[in-house]
Chain A
Amino acid sequence: MSKRIRLVVLVMFALSALALLPAAQAQDDVFRVAAVAPSATNDLAFSQSMFDALTLIDEEMGDAFEFTFQEGTFIVDDAAVALREWAASGEYDLVIAHGSQYGAIIEELAPEFPDVSFAWGTDVNTFGLDNVYAYTAASDQGGYINGYVAAMLSESGNIGVVGPIEVGDAKLYVDGFKTGAVAANADVAVNVTYIQSFSDVPLATEAANAFVANGADILTGSAQMVVGPIAVANENGLKWFGTQSSQAELSEEAGVLFQVYRWDVVLMDIIAKIGEGTLGGESYVLTLENGGLEMVLSEAVAAEDAEQIQEWVDMLSEGIIAGETMTLPEAEA
C-alpha cells in the first residue's frame, strides 16, 4: 500500500472521528440549555423559579443564549426520555433536570454521556461524577426570616403552615420557619399540615380554612397548591408569607414577605465554568450570602410596617450570613 493511500485513510479516520464528537457543541458561540421540570412554568412555585431564572439569563445574554424547557413532566420516565434525547443530540451545552425525583436518572445517564454537562436539583449529590452539577436552596434561611417576622406580626400567636410532603426544600423551609418563629416569640404556636400532595388545591384550601377556624392570623406554605391558601388569606384578612417564587401578584391583600429562589445566580456560575471546560463535579447552595435567596417585600404592606419589616430582614440576614444565627433546630443542623 502506498504512503499516499495510507495518508488518505488516516485523514478519513480522523475526519470520521471528528464527526463522532458531539456535533453542534462549540460550533458557534451560542450557549444552549435544555431543562425539564415537573409542573407548569406558571405554577408560582418550584418550576416557575427555574423558568424565570432561564428567562432572565436569556434577556441578559441575548443572542448568546438559547433555552428549551419541557414543563409538566411529573412522570419520571418521561423526563428520562427527554434528558436522554437532549444528551444524545449533542446540541446542548447544559442539560438541567429540575426536580429531586430526577436524580436517579442523572445518576444512570451522566456516565453514558461524559461530554455533556448535567445539572440537577434540589440536592447536593453529584454522584462523584465530574460532568454533574447539583444545586439546592438553603430555604431554611428565608424560612427563618419569614417565621421570625410572622411571629413578630402575629396578634393571635397562632400560625398555620400548609406543606406538601415532608421532604426537600419544603421541609427545610417549614423547619426554618418554625425555628425563626420560636426565636421571635417562644409562645407562638406554629402548626403544620402536610397534605401529601404538591398540587391538590381543594385540600390545601380546606387545610388553610381549618387554620383560620382555629384562630390563625398568619399563613404560609410551600409548593404550587399554595394558590388555594393564598386565596383563603386574602378573603379572611390574614397575612401570607411565601417561598420559592414571588406570589405578590396573587396575594395582593395578604402578602407580606417572599423568599425567592434566584437560580440564575447558580446558573451564571455554571455557564462560566462550562466555558472554562469544567463540566461538573460541584454542588451549589442558594443562600442569602451568595444572593441566591432574595427576600422580597410585598407592596401590600403599609409603608410604616414595611420599614420595620425591612429592618428585621436586614438584621436577621446579617446574623445568618455571619453564621451567628442557627436557622434549623440543633438536631438537624
Chain B
Amino acid sequence: MIESILAPSVFASAIRLATPYVFASVGEMFGQRSGVLNLGVDGIMLMGAFFSYYVALLTGNLLLALLAAVLVGALMGLAMAFISVTLKAEQGISGIGVYLFGLGMSELLFQKLVGTPRSVDGFPRVAIPILSDIQFLSLGEIFFNHNLLVYVAFALIPIAAFILNRTPFGLMIRAVGQHPEAADAMGVSVVRVRYITVIIGGILAGVAGASLSTALLKVFQQNLTSGLGFIAVALVYFGRWRPFGVLAGALLFSFVNALQLQISALGIDVPSEFAVMAPYVITIIALVFASKQTEKPTALTKPFDRGG
C-alpha cells in the first residue's frame, strides 16, 4: 500500500508541480531581498502564460514563445518598479492592482485573439541521456524525464544563490534591502538596483506562466494560474529569502499536493476537502517546527527617500 502511494510517479509529479513556484518565487525573492514586495506575481504569470501560449499557437516556435513571456514579464516588472520605486506607491496595493490588470487583460486577449481553448504543441519531454536511465530509487524517472523548463527551474536555484551570495551585484541587492541609506552613502544606486531586481522578478514570473501554458498544461484558459502566484509569494517567506529555502518550500507544498492526488487516483477514500487542504496546512505546520529567527530584509516594503 505505502509502496503504491509513494510511487516514483508521485515524486516526479511533485517536481512538475513545483516548477512554476520555483520560477515565480525565486524572482519574487530577488525583489524582496532589495526591499520591494510584489503581490502582483499572479497577474504577471497570467500575462506571461497567455503571450507564450499565443506565440506558440501562431508560430509553433517555442523559443519565440519563451521570449514573449520574458518580454511581457520584463514590461510588467518595469511597470511595477516604476509604480513602487519611482512613484513610491504602497506596495501591497499596487501589487493587487497589477494582479487585477494581468488577470483581466490575459483573459480579454485570450477571448478576442483565440476564442476557445485549443491545445498547443509545447515543450516536449526531454529524457536526459544516461541520467534518465538510472534505476536506483527510480531517480532517473523522478528527476531526469521532464520538459526543458523543469530543468531550467531547478538549475536556477544554485545560480540565484551564487548571484545573491557571491557576486558584487548580490551584495548590492542585500545592502539595498537591509540598509538602503548606507548603500546609498556607499554610492550604490538604490533605485537602479530595485528596478533591476523587480524586472528580474517580472521576467521569472512571466517564465513561470510560460512553464504552465506551454510546458506543463499546453493550453490556456481564463485565470489559468488559479492564484498560484500568491502561493509563490508565500513560499518566499517560507524559504526565508534564500533560494534553497524557497526550493524546499516549493517541493514540500508540491509533494503533499502530489500525494493527495495520488491517494484519490488509487481510489482510497479520503474526504476530498481535507485532501485538498493538506498542502496548505502542512506547509504552515512545517514552518512552525522549522522556526528560527528570521532575517527579513529590514527595508522590505519601504520606499527609499534620499534624505527624506
Verify whether A and B have any Cβ pair under 8 Å.
yes
A155 is an interface residue with CB less than 8 A from chain B: no
Given contacts A191-B267, A195-B272, A210-B258, contact A202 B219 (CB under 8 A): no
A228 is an interface residue with CB less than 8 A from chain B: yes
A70 is an interface residue with CB less than 8 A from chain B: no
A213 is an interface residue with CB less than 8 A from chain B: yes
Given contacts A202-B225, A207-B261, contact A250 B117 (CB under 8 A): yes
- A166 nearest CB neighbor, chain B only: B272
A206–B16 contact, CB under 8 A?
Answer: yes
B226–A209 contact, CB under 8 A?
Answer: no
Q: Which chain B positions have C-beta within 8 A of A238? A: none
Query: From residue A119, how far is it (CB to closest CB) to chain B in Å?
Result: 25
A202–B116 contact, CB under 8 A?
Answer: no
Query: From residue B82, how far is it (CB to closest CB) to chain A in Å?
Result: 30
A220 is an interface residue with CB less than 8 A from chain B: no
Query: From residue A238, how far is it (CB to closest CB) to chain B in Å?
Result: 14
CA distance A93 to B9 in the complex (A): 55
CA distance A186 to B257 in the complex (A): 31
CA distance A216 to B261 in the complex (A): 14
A230 is an interface residue with CB less than 8 A from chain B: yes
Per-residue interface assignment for chain A, residues 116 to 137, with 1 indicating a CB less than 8 Å from any chain B CB and 0 otherwise: 0000000000000000000000
B64 is an interface residue with CB less than 8 A from chain A: no
B115–A196 contact, CB under 8 A?
Answer: no
Stretch in contact with the other chain, from A39-47, A56-64, A264-272, A324-332: A39-47
A224–B221 contact, CB under 8 A?
Answer: yes
A65 is an interface residue with CB less than 8 A from chain B: no
Given contacts A196-B272, A196-B273, contact A228 B219 (CB under 8 A): yes
A181 is an interface residue with CB less than 8 A from chain B: no
Per-residue interface assignment for chain A, residues 232 to 258, with 1 indicating a CB less than 8 Å from any chain B CB and 0 otherwise: 001100000000000001101000000
A68 is an interface residue with CB less than 8 A from chain B: no
Q: Which chain A positions have C-beta within 8 A of B217? A: 201-202, 205, 227-228, 231
A202–B216 contact, CB under 8 A?
Answer: yes
- A234 nearest CB neighbor, chain B only: B119
B94 is an interface residue with CB less than 8 A from chain A: no
Interface residues of A in 214-230 (CB under 8 A from B): 214, 216, 224-225, 227-228, 230
A197 is an interface residue with CB less than 8 A from chain B: yes
A31 is an interface residue with CB less than 8 A from chain B: no
CA distance A213 to B263 in the complex (A): 12
Query: From residue B6, how far is it (CB to closest CB) to chain A in Å?
Result: 12
CA distance A42 to B90 in the complex (A): 36
B118–A214 contact, CB under 8 A?
Answer: no
A189 is an interface residue with CB less than 8 A from chain B: yes
B225–A209 contact, CB under 8 A?
Answer: no
CA distance A329 to B273 in the complex (A): 23
Given contacts A191-B267, A230-B119, contact A203 B257 (CB under 8 A): yes
Interface size on A, residues (CB 8 A): 41
A193–B264 contact, CB under 8 A?
Answer: yes
Given contacts A196-B272, A250-B117, contact A209 B13 (CB under 8 A): yes
A230–B265 contact, CB under 8 A?
Answer: no
CA distance A230 to B9 in the complex (A): 19
Q: Which of A72, A197, A202 contacts B20 (CB 8 A)?
A: A202
Q: Which chain B positions have C-beta within 8 A of A189? A: 267
A194 is an interface residue with CB less than 8 A from chain B: yes
CA distance A192 to B272 in the complex (A): 10
Given contacts A166-B272, A196-B273, A214-B266, contact A43 B221 (CB under 8 A): yes
A211 is an interface residue with CB less than 8 A from chain B: yes
B216–A205 contact, CB under 8 A?
Answer: yes
CA distance A160 to B267 in the complex (A): 10
CA distance A225 to B276 in the complex (A): 16
- A225 nearest CB neighbor, chain B only: B221
CA distance A44 to B273 in the complex (A): 25
B203 is an interface residue with CB less than 8 A from chain A: no
A211–B219 contact, CB under 8 A?
Answer: no
Interface residues of B in 98-118 (CB under 8 A from A): 107, 111, 115-118
Per-residue interface assignment for chain A, residues 174 to 201, with 1 indicating a CB less than 8 Å from any chain B CB and 0 otherwise: 0000000000000001011111110111
CA distance A223 to B4 in the complex (A): 29
A197–B226 contact, CB under 8 A?
Answer: yes
Given contacts A193-B265, A210-B262, contact A250 B272 (CB under 8 A): no
Given contacts A42-B111, A42-B115, contact A206 B219 (CB under 8 A): no
Q: Which chain B positions have C-beta within 8 A of A201? A: 217, 219, 221, 224, 226
B13–A206 contact, CB under 8 A?
Answer: yes
Query: From residue B89, how far is it (CB to closest CB) to chain A in Å?
Result: 27
Please give the residue numbers on chain B whose beta carbons come within 8 Å of chain A beta carbons, in ascending order: 4, 7, 9-10, 12-13, 16-17, 20, 107, 111, 115-119, 212, 216-219, 221-226, 228, 257-258, 261-262, 264-267, 272-273, 276
Interchain residue pairs with CB less than 8 A apart (6): A40-B107, A191-B266, A191-B267, A203-B276, A210-B264, A213-B12
Please give the residue numbers on chain A whose beta carbons come within 8 Å of chain B beta carbons, in ascending order: 39-40, 42-44, 72, 160, 166, 189, 191-197, 199-203, 205-207, 209-211, 213-214, 216, 224-225, 227-228, 230-231, 234-235, 249-250, 252
